[in-house]
């Protein structure tokens, strides 16, 4: 069966690979280690070689249906079982079920005397026997170089080890050979890597500032592409987890759904609808600018919608966060009780950056939140360098995006530092960046907020002052003065000035109105008077006209009477004479 | 051949070695390779010369009894295990270097 499988594999053009079952490693190597061939795992003391090898076998036996043999040259079997138990592996049960075979090869140098030619047939026979007993497909030799310390004649030993590898390959056993690396310029102490030409993985265990970091690198993988970076890995009660930085790719979905920030006016600043679901939001600012408060608003809004929230508190304890938020009228406790909000609080210094990432992953995978808050990411710098934090965040953001989880990261800006430059390292990972800042003016320190960037949406360019009231965070109206945005009492006095100016304008207007009215009244009065005068004059004139007409008639009448009295028979002539002057006039 | 030459493959009730036959030697081989044969011959000669009548050689062919390799922690072939007198010692190789074998057997002073 085994032989048949191998025969089928041989003509295939691409290298066939055997999954290791180690979380993350199969992604880096594109499917595991070379099937039916030896892989060298090299590393310094305590770098996790044995655990790597153990997990390779246990995963093979339990998940991939490939029984395995562990040949230990160093640790005794009881020790091995105890160590494996720390990873949550029950070797006893696997051995009882014939899925695993453990053999400890102990040689004590003192016992050995070299008397001539020898070979390692004893070892071959032991391995063959073990493999045959359980039908093994995998084997681990941990660490075969120990033989060099215990057997004489390195020349023979090297030749024999070479023969052993060829023999293992011939049998199609997927092999992991561990080797001690005591010098950085060499992969193994005795140079056995030259016999293992297919795949070499180096494990490393570094201590920086008292915090340990484990790293893994695929140095060589003949006939296959592989990730060449150094990948951090972790060993915990569930085994090894390698955290590939780039294995996830950039193919996550981009939801168009928008979710409220929990602050109406902030939603307004973000195109009126809030954040995109699944986006990553950076909330940066100096201390005491209200980062946690903004995050808490978002959390409460999400809980109200019935979404789960996971809050990673790296600075404050959950009770502290709850108490502090209560002071601004946000009660988180009911949501915790309802199981919608979960806190995970830990000092980052508790473990290395990888451990934090792993814990984060695990919490997210188990709780399945819609919202994640990391408060603050800057505390991670306490345990690691900027580069590592950045790489960790990249992976975290990738992971969150794949899961369409909206995440808020708060970041503490050092006072005095440039607000925007200091976060440049992580900002490119973020979709939306809200900057909170304290504006100090006129002996006051006021809080302001603005949207530095927000990908894919219309957003406000304003700097908005906000206050933390008993009823939550409130964004205020904008007042711009000659020196920028006006806040606090400067804003209040500006408001006052504007009110006063308005009043006086109104008063002036009213005054003018009154003026006009008065003028009109005067005008009208004058007009009345003039009219009265005119009328009086007119009356007088007309009267005089009437009088003079009357006088004329009287004159004529008098003249006529006179003529009539002077010539009693010439009255007709007198009448004609009287008419003539009237006509000529 | 080596197996047949073994003086006594079974342990109890050996008639030939005397009560002080305190040398119990076990030679591990893997099949009848030249190395194995040579080792047995060399051992035989030495024993006859230095331990005549006081020894017992047991030859174990691991090809036939592979599980026995574990008990005495056999890796190299051939390996001679000196079970008695204590402490247990191992001598590996084809035993062609007689002086070293004697050192291994702690027989040098005796000689």
Closest-CA residue to A282 (of A194, A413, A176): A413
Q: Which among A118, A125, A151 is the nearest to B69, CB-wise?
A: A125
User: Which residue does chain A place closest to B82, by CA atoms?
Assistant: A111
> A184 and A227 share a domain?
yes
Domain boundaries, position B76: 21-105
From chain A residues 85-124, the ones with a CB under 8 A of any chain B CB are: 103, 105-107, 111-124
Residue of A190, A219, A192 lying closest to A203 (CA atoms): A219
> Is A510 within the bounds of a domain?
yes
Cα dist. A208→A279, A352, A384, A388 in Å?
Answer: 33, 10, 8, 12
Cα–Cα distances in angstroms (integers) from residue A130 to residues A99, A472, B65, B82, in the given order: 11, 69, 13, 26
ipTM above 0.95, yes or no: no
Radius of gyration from C-alpha coordinates of chain B: 13
Give me the number of domains chain B comprises: 1
| A250 found inside a domain | no
A385 in the same domain as A317:
yes
Query: Residues A279, A221: one domain?
Result: no
Backbone angles phi, psi at A469, to 5 degrees: -100, 175
> Could you tell me the pTM of the whole model?
0.63
Instruction: Please give the helix or strand (H or E) that residue A231 lies within, else none.
Output: strand A230-236
In this structure, what token pair is assigned to residue A485?
């945005």
Q: Is B68 on the interface with A (CB under 8 A)?
A: no
d(CA A537, CA A531): 10
Asked if the C-beta of A74 comes within 8 angstroms of chain B's C-beta atoms, the answer is no
Residue at A249 is within a domain: no
Nearest to A113 among B35, B73, B91 (CB): B91
Q: Rounded distance, CA A141 to CA A105, Å?
A: 10
For chain A, the domain total comes to 3
Domain membership of residue B13 (yes or no) is no
User: Is B15 part of any domain?
Assistant: no
Residue A572 inside a domain? The answer is yes
Query: Are B63 and A152 a contacting pair at CB < 8 A?
Result: no
Please check whether residue B107 touches A, CB under 8 A. no
Is residue A330 within 8 Å of A296, Cβ to Cβ? yes
User: Would B36 be classed as within a structural domain?
Assistant: yes
| A65 inside 8 A of chain B by CB | no
Residue B110 domain-assigned (yes or no): no
| A252 is a domain residue | no
CB atoms A151 and B66 under 8 Å: no
- Domain span at A26: 2-111+118-242
Residue of chain A whose Cα is closest to the Cα of B92:
A114
pLDDT per residue as tens, chain A (585 positions): 444 444 444 444 567 888 888 878 888 888 888 988 899 998 888 888 888 999 999 999 998 899 999 999 888 999 989 888 888 888 899 899 889 999 998 877 666 777 888 888 888 999 999 999 999 999 999 888 888 878 888 888 888 888 999 999 999 999 999 988 877 777 887 777 777 778 899 998 877 666 667 888 888 888 787 777 778 787 877 788 887 655 455 667 778 888 888 888 888 888 888 888 889 998 888 888 888 889 999 999 999 999 999 999 888 888 988 998 898 888 989 999 998 999 988 776 666 677 777 778 878 878 889 999 988 887 777 766 777 777 778 878 888 888 889 999 988 877 655 555 455 567 778 888 888 888 877 788 888 888 888 888 888 888 888 888 888 888 887 766 665 666 777 777 777 777 888 888 888 888 889 899 999 999 999 999 999 999 999 999 999 999 999 888 888 888 888 787 776 565 454 455 444 554 444
CA B4 to CA A165: how far, in whole Å?
Answer: 34
Q: Is residue A565 part of a domain?
A: yes
Going across the sheet that includes A432-441, the strands are A341-345, A309-313, A371-375, A406-412, A280-285, A432-441, A444-454, A464-469, A472-475
Chain A residues 501-540 within an 8 A CB cutoff of chain B: none
Q: Is A111 helix (H, G, I), strand (E, B) or coil?
A: helix
The answer to whether residue B35 is domain-embedded is yes
Query: Do A391 and A536 fall into the same domain?
Result: no
Q: Do both A461 and A515 map to the same domain?
A: no
CA distance A124 to chain B (A): 8
Do A481 and A504 lie in one domain? The reply is: no
Closest chain B residue by Cα to residue A107 = B73
Residues A475 and A573 in one domain: no
Q: Say which CATH number the domain at A427 has.
A: 3.40.50.300
């Amino acid at each position: 069966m085994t032989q048949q499988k191998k025969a089928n594999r041989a003509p295939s053009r691409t290298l066939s690979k055997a999954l290791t079952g180690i979380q993350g490693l199969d992604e880096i190597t594109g499917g595991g280690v070379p099937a039916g061939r030896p892989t060298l795992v090299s590393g310094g003391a305590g770098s996790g070689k044995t655990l790597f090898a153990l997990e390779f076998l246990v995963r093979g036996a339990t998940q991939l249906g490939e029984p395995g043999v562990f040949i230990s040259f160093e640790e005794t079997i009881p020790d091995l079982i105890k160590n494996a138990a720390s990873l949550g592996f029950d070797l006893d049960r696997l051995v009882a079920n014939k899925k695993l075979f453990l053999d400890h090869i102990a040689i004590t140098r003192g016992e050995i005397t070299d008397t001539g030619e020898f070979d390692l047939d004893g070892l071959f026979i032991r391995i063959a026997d073990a493999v045959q007993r359980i039908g093994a497909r995998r084997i681990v030799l941990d660490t075969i170089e120990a033989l060099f310390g215990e057997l004489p004649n390195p020349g023979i030993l090297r030749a024999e080890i070479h023969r052993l590898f060829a023999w293992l390959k011939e049998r199609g056993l997927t092999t992991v050979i561990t080797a001690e690396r005591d010098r950085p310029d060499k992969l193994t102490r005795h140079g056995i890597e030259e016999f293992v030409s297919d795949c070499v993985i180096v494990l490393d265990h570094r201590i920086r500032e008292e915090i340990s970091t484990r790293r893994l690198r695929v140095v060589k993988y003949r006939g296959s592409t592989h990730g060449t970076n150094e990948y951090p890995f972790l060993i915990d009660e569930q085994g090894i987890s390698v955290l590939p930085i780039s294995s996830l790719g950039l193919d996550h979905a981009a939801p168009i759904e928008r979710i409220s920030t929990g602050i109406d006016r902030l939603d307004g600043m973000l195109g009126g609808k809030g954040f995109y679901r699944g986006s990553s939001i950076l909330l940066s600012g100096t201390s005491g600018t209200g980062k946690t408060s903004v995050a808490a608003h978002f959390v409460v809004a999400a809980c109200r919608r019935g979404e789960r929230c996971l809050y990673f508190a790296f600075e404050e304890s959950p009770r502290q966060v709850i108490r502090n938020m209560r002071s601004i009228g946000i009660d988180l406790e009911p949501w915790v009780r309802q199981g919608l909000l979960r806190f995970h609080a830990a000092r980052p210094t508790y473990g290395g950056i990888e451990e934090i990432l792993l814990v984060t992953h695990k919490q997210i995978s188990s709780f399945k939140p819609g919202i994640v808050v990391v408060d603050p990411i800057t505390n991670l710098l306490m345990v690691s360098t900027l580069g590592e934090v950045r790489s960790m965040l990249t992976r975290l953001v990738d992971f969150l995006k794949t899961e369409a989880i909206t995440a808020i990261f708060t970041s503490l800006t050092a006072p005095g530092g440039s607000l925007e430059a200091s976060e440049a390292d992580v900002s490119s990972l973020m979709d939306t960046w809200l900057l909170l800042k304290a504006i100090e003016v006129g002996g006051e320190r006021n809080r302001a907020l603005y949207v530095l960037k927000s990908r894919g949406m219309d957003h406000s360019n304003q700097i908005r002052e906000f206050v933390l009231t008993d009823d939550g965070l409130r964004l205020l109206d904008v007042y711009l003065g000659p020196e920028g945005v006006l806040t606090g009492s400067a804003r209040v006095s500006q408001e006052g000035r504007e009110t006063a100016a308005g009043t006086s304008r109104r008063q002036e207007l009213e005054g003018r109105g009154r003026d006009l009215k008065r003028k009109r009244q005067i005008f009208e009065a004058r007009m009345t008077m003039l009219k009265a005068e005119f009328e009086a004059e007119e009356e007088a004139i007309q009267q005089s006209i009437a009088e003079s007409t009357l006088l004329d008639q009287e004159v004529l009448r008098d003249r006529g009477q006179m003529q009539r009295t002077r010539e009693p028979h010439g009255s007709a002539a007198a009448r004609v004479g009287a008419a003539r002057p009237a006509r000529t006039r | 051949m080596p197996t047949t030459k073994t003086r006594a493959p079974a342990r109890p009730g050996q008639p030939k070695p005397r009560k002080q036959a305190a040398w119990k030697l076990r030679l591990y081989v893997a099949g009848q390779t030249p190395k194995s044969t040579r080792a047995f011959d060399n051992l035989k000669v030495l024993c006859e010369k230095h331990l005549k009548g006081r020894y017992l050689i047991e030859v174990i062919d691991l090809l036939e009894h592979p599980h026995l390799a574990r008990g005495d922690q056999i890796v190299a072939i051939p390996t001679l295990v000196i079970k008695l007198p204590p402490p247990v010692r191992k001598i590996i190789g084809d035993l062609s270097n007689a002086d070293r074998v004697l050192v291994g057997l702690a027989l040098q002073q005796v000689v």
